[in-house]
Amino acid sequence: MTTLLESDEHKSLREAVSAFARSHPRATAPAESRHFWQEAGKLGYIGVSLPEAYGGGGGGVTELSLVLEEMGAAGNPLLMMIVSPAICGTVIARFGTDEQKRTWLPGIADGTRLMAFGITEPDAGSNSHRITTTARRDGATGDWLLTGRKVFISGVDIADATLIVGRTETVSTKEGRTGNLKPCLFIVPRDTPGFERRQLDMELHATEKQFELTLDDVRLPADALVGDEDAGLLQLFAGLNPERIMTAAFGIGIGRYALARALDYARQRTVWKTPIGAHQAIAHPLAQAHIDLELSRLMTQKAAHLYDAGDDMGAGEAANMAKYAAGEACVKAVDQAVHTLGGNGLTREFGLASLITAARVARIAPVSREMILNYVSHQTLGLPKSY
């Protein structure tokens, strides 16, 4: 029952975050988003899931996803919360050395430092087993040398460092890659020589920019490696499961914001002497959108509770399902909200048009709905693979 009923503490956290987020104007420029991030960090919202020993709130992904959902519902979602505290902070907290924890976690927790995450590659797409970014040892110094490319990496320009996913060069085949993914995670400071970035020209107008990264024999000290070189998938999914849970919360928040705007409009907009919300053609789709968002929230809460309880396998299944359900619910809620407002839904005044493209982010990133269906059909239902 703990996954169904929120504690009084969690309800209070929701109310506090909601009040805070609604007290700030909608962030439409990078400077506004950065200010909102810093204020949230001062209040402990950014680091709510990180260990208290390093300045965090001592909570888990449950609390962090709740924070992001309420920010989204107030019209101020922070995309980098999915990346900096949820992925990078979690991985470092679980697998980092004491020095890495001391160096990075306090700043990530209070919002003064930001970390990006680099996994996606141009030729790999959703197939992480095709990652070609390699890390090899310099026998003379013990340093690591990283070479490769990454694409669609968020916020690299504002991040102090990027957590890069590569693989050790010793695990290789004639084709230059391994059939068994053995990822290694490296902290790459923003100004490291050989670490180059190129901003991608996106039609999605978000305050966080997207980048292509090039690593050309980037030299890193031995202690840039996070965790064990042989830990493989355990360390990677320590970050990817929270990423899916947080993306679900991101989508639910956006969906709730859009639905609230539509409901306000449907209650007030009067045609032929009756508010349009009285008509079932308007009311029923909005009711269905609300139901879908609430169901998505339940699965997101289940996934977060499983992860915080240490059930990585159970959390993996639930996190994928939550991300799928929330992505679909978000897109439908935004679409129905715009449809409810008609032409007004495309004006800046009501702030819904920009969500049409933003909502699809929750549907296609960080993993497409088709790959989630593959996961569920293979891992949950036991059906054979077609690839």
pLDDT along the chain (387 residues), means of 10: 75 97 90 95 98 98 98 96 97 96 98 96 74 89 95 96 86 48 88 97 87 97 89 79 97 98 97 95 98 98 97 95 98 98 95 92 91 94 91
| Continuous segment of H or E residues that includes residue 272 | none
What's the pLDDT score for residue 127? 67
- pLDDT in the model for residue 168: 83
Collapse the DSSP code of 257 into the 3-class scheme (helix H, G, I; strand E, B; otherwise coil) and give the result.
Answer: helix
Instruction: Classify residue 218 as left (phi > 0), alpha (psi -120 to 50) or beta.
Output: beta
Residue in the structure block whose two tokens are 């497409």: 368
Alpha helices in the chain (DSSP H): 8-22, 30-42, 61-73, 80-83, 90-95, 98-110, 233-268, 280-308, 312-341, 353-364, 369-375
Q: Return the residue matching tokens 């949820």.
A: 86
The interaxial angle of helices 233-268 and 312-341, nearest 10 deg, is: 20
pLDDT for 238: 85
Residue pointed to by tokens 């715009």: 338
pLDDT for 172: 44
